[in-house]
């Protein structure tokens, strides 16, 4: 799909400057802005949703075991905090 935008000279200059700062063409910069602000794709699969996390982990060199240990620790911490909150609420 192609969309035409009427920008003022000031807006166009700001767009070009922002794109240059990111190291991309103005068209790519606008496309990313639009994509970043669209509502989530409710038809996305779980694999598609977590793909950025997997890519980040791959780039960082994390092993499956390290990721699993991290997730397990976070779940344990969350449950502990939730129990403490519930206990505090019932004590009031």
pLDDT confidence of residue 60:
93
40 or 24, which is more confident: 24
In angstroms, rounded to a whole number, what is the distance separating the alpha carbons of residues 17 and 68? 42
Mean pLDDT of all residues in the chain?
Answer: 92
Give residues with Cβ within 8 angstroms of 78, minimum separation 6: none
Copy the structure tokens of residue 52: 């950025």
pLDDT confidence of residue 54:
87
CB 15 within 8 A of CB 26: yes
Residue 21 in this model has a pLDDT that exceeds 90: yes
In angstroms, rounded to a whole number, what is the distance separating the alpha carbons of residues 64 and 77? 20
Q: In terms of pTM, does the model score above 0.75?
A: no
Confidence at 43, pLDDT banded by 50, 70, 90 = confident
């Amino acid at each position: 799909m192609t969309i035409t935008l009427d920008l003022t000279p000031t807006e166009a200059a700001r767009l070009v400057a922002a794109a240059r700062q990111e190291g991309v063409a103005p068209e790519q910069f606008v496309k990313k802005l639009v994509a970043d602000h669209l509502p989530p794709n409710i038809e996305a699969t779980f694999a598609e949703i977590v793909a950025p996390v997997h890519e980040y982990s791959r780039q960082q060199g994390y092993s499956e075991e390290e990721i699993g240990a991290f997730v397990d620790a976070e779940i344990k911490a969350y449950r502990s905090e939730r129990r403490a909150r519930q206990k505090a609420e019932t004590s009031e």
